[in-house]
Structure 1
């Protein structure tokens, strides 16, 4: 038996080659779709692989096809020829496939992946006579394929095509992200470089900067817009606004009874309390009281007592957590109590734990972490990390007027998930404090002010 493998564009091409090479008595053993050419698995072309065979007994001594057998020989030998084809086709096809493909023989794929190909074969090659006319139809075709096998093979092909399309899409997305990370877009668009440099100068976390720049570039690609400075700024404003907005009330809530203020030394907790107490008394007409545990700093109690005298606000001093019950009892008629705590070394966990023992109350309370913007961001991050082990609700920033770097604000809010509240920008009581305005902070971060 002679077995040959053909890779063609269409079945008519295959039939013509089979007829020329093997004669009209040849039998098609197997067909399947293959992909050739391309680069890295893409841009390949669909081809059809056809395996054909011819029984050498039907050939003459020269190897060319002999004349069609007589009816008497057909009636005497069909079953034997069919048996020979059926028993020898599979190993011969496997050997031929391996020899022509340049690798070890493999299992033959299921023949005829689509039922319509049989109809194409009969229409394109009608003159080929039936090799075994007296054999029943189910046994006449070597390696017959059941309908459910054809359906299963077609489904597998469609699944592979869908998988290939998904892989191409994923590759495109990956290439876009890689190009953004490697700076290809930034090199082409100086506006991205300008804002990236500005954000880094503002001490915005480099990881956050990369994320902001990548989103801006992806928006430009998605919207097919030019990466102008105006477009980049608009994208950065939207992203920073989402970070700074928070999802709660920034000011002291109307039903809050105890407002604790904690933080490291020298951030301005006492002055901040005086500003907020004045706002509550003068603007909201609430009855306010003071509690201070800052008995370590010289004149700390006297400073808060002076503010209390001006505002007509009572003051209670506690030296330990045991004194809290007495202080709360004396201030039970107050609508809102401000509690000033001593500044603690944030690196000493024992001090911070002692402070946490003071943060208890008999009603709804809020704890404000007070941070100074003149502190290095590395230290601000460490301070927040240590105090965040306990109950923190909001973050308040002071000394806005004493710095030109504002990147710590979005960094802390984003990383620790704290609700922004107030910003203080001076020593004047009660004027120099206000609820954080996102637009103002964003402008301070993005505007490039020349000296």
Structure 2
């Protein structure tokens, strides 16, 4: 095997060099970002290290002609049959029209494969056949979801969940659970029974025994999130709760000096609640800010809602979130955000050891499926939801039962 390492500016550059040096049969073994040059880690340039290889033995074997008298073994016949079936399945999978549900039809009707005992121990071939069957099963399951005609009650449930923007995978899990429980219990398929099973399953996905409130021994609470989700107003609402209801001494720190009037907005809330406010312009200002607020029971830190894809912002935010006593980090997301974007945002902020998620603008949408999707995809805990701009009123601790009821809607029996 011939192995070669490349240091390039981009993947297209790497691919061009690999094709030129190793040919079209080369494969990429590993890629990683590195930094080159600079002084003491500064001003270095980002590069990509790519390791590629060419299997010279495979290339030799590929060029070897097949003799006419060469006879295929049963194992070779099995491999050829499997490859043919996979080729057919792959060609069907790209069609725009949905496929009917035909589980294991092709495998069940394949001619029997007689394998000699001397070659029955060929684990590689058996593994390939097993993987092929799993792939066919997944394709069939995906086709079933789009093409099978369901009972009207199940179809209504599916339409409701789709309208609430619940992910297709979770919808299929809900429908499977309904099928399993009705089959095992022998209960009649009614709207109320289906509704109850589906509701319990969705509740199971988001329900947690962990406290939604800020822990009593937490010293610092960080709020992170993208632009426009209402972090500053939300911080003021929770601070008011801590001051008026729990009688805790609260302090504010804000690093949101990029948005026009952001500091003034938080300063107004701080004045109303009689809370001290410290403004930091860089991570170096944090020590002074914490020293000024050392007598506070709880410190709320408002971070700038800048572009989460910007590497400089991410690096700066990471420095701002360095621990000073026990802390919690809340991710603030708007329910008006598309789940596709919400997922990318959460994935990017997950490097900051997120603890809880807080959803804003619940009053500005009638679609809540993204809550289930997010809590199913990420190890986050529900905390609060906001439903208006009024401080401190328009915030409440998230109620899983209420959220699932909104997603499910009413049944025809109710």
**Bucket of the pairwise TM-score, normalised by the shorter protein:** 0.5 to 0.7
Q: Which has the larger radius of gyration?
A: 1
The aligned residue for residue 192 of structure 1 is 154
Name the SS of the counterpart of 2:352 in structure 1.
Answer: coil
Name the SS of the counterpart of 1:200 in structure 2.
Answer: helix
Preserved contact between residue 196 and residue 209 of structure 1 (Cα < 8 Å): yes
Distance 1:183 1:312, change over 3 A: closer
Matched, 1:373 2:351: no
The aligned residue for residue 42 of structure 2 is none
Matched, 1:214 2:214: no
Matched, 1:241 2:199: no
Matched, 1:290 2:252: yes
The aligned residue for residue 416 of structure 1 is 378
Question: Which of 240, 252, 256 is the matching residue for 1:278?
Answer: 240
State the shift of 1:185 in Å. 12
Please show how residues 72-83 of structure 1 align to structure 2 within 5 Å.
Answer: none
The aligned residue for residue 161 of structure 1 is none
Please show how residues 385-400 of structure 1 align to structure 2 within 5 Å.
Answer: 385-400=347-362
The aligned residue for residue 344 of structure 2 is 382
CA distance in 1, matches of 2:183, 2:147: 10
State the shift of 1:227 in Å. 1.9
Q: Which runs of 5+ in 2 are unaligned?
A: 1-135
The aligned residue for residue 265 of structure 1 is 227
Preserved contact between residue 229 and residue 333 of structure 2 (Cα < 8 Å): yes
Matched, 1:354 2:316: yes
State the shift of 1:351 in Å. 1.4
Corresponding residue pairs, total: 281
CA distance in 2, matches of 1:449, 1:313: 48
CA distance in 2, matches of 1:211, 1:349: 37
State the shift of 1:186 in Å. 6.7
State the shift of 1:217 in Å. 1.0
Name the SS of the counterpart of 1:297 in structure 2.
Answer: coil
Question: Which of 202, 209, 216 is the matching residue for 2:164?
Answer: 202
CA distance in 1, matches of 2:285, 2:364: 37
Preserved contact between residue 192 and residue 411 of structure 2 (Cα < 8 Å): no
Preserved contact between residue 293 and residue 317 of structure 1 (Cα < 8 Å): yes
Preserved contact between residue 191 and residue 411 of structure 2 (Cα < 8 Å): no
State the shift of 1:263 in Å. 0.2
State the shift of 1:256 in Å. 0.8
Name the SS of the counterpart of 2:308 in structure 1.
Answer: coil
Preserved contact between residue 356 and residue 381 of structure 2 (Cα < 8 Å): yes
Question: Which of 396, 404, 410 is the matching residue for 1:442?
Answer: 404
State the shift of 1:231 in Å. 1.0
Name the SS of the counterpart of 1:182 in structure 2.
Answer: helix
Please show how residues 311-322 of structure 1 align to structure 2 within 5 Å.
Answer: 311-322=273-284
Higher relative contact order (CA 8 A, sep 6+): 2
State the shift of 1:191 in Å. 1.1
The aligned residue for residue 364 of structure 2 is 402
State the shift of 1:296 in Å. 0.3
Deviation readout 1:219-273 (Å, 9 max, x if unpaired): 1111112221111111111111112212411111111110000000000000000
Name the SS of the counterpart of 1:208 in structure 2.
Answer: helix
Provide the aligned C-alpha RMSD in A.
Answer: 2.8
Preserved contact between residue 272 and residue 424 of structure 1 (Cα < 8 Å): yes
Question: Which of 332, 335, 360 is the matching residue for 2:294?
Answer: 332
Preserved contact between residue 180 and residue 186 of structure 1 (Cα < 8 Å): no
State the shift of 1:196 in Å. 0.8
CA distance in 1, matches of 2:146, 2:231: 47
State the shift of 1:183 in Å. 6.1
Distance 1:391 1:383, change over 3 A: same
Preserved contact between residue 180 and residue 217 of structure 1 (Cα < 8 Å): no
CA distance in 2, matches of 1:365, 1:307: 22
Name the SS of the counterpart of 2:351 in structure 1.
Answer: coil
Preserved contact between residue 203 and residue 401 of structure 2 (Cα < 8 Å): yes
Q: Which runs of 5+ in 1 are unaligned?
A: 1-173
Name the SS of the counterpart of 1:397 in structure 2.
Answer: strand
State the shift of 1:449 in Å. 10
CA distance in 1, matches of 2:146, 2:375: 31
CA distance in 1, matches of 2:239, 2:260: 22
Name the SS of the counterpart of 2:330 in structure 1.
Answer: strand
Please show how residues 42-81 of structure 1 align to structure 2 within 5 Å.
Answer: none
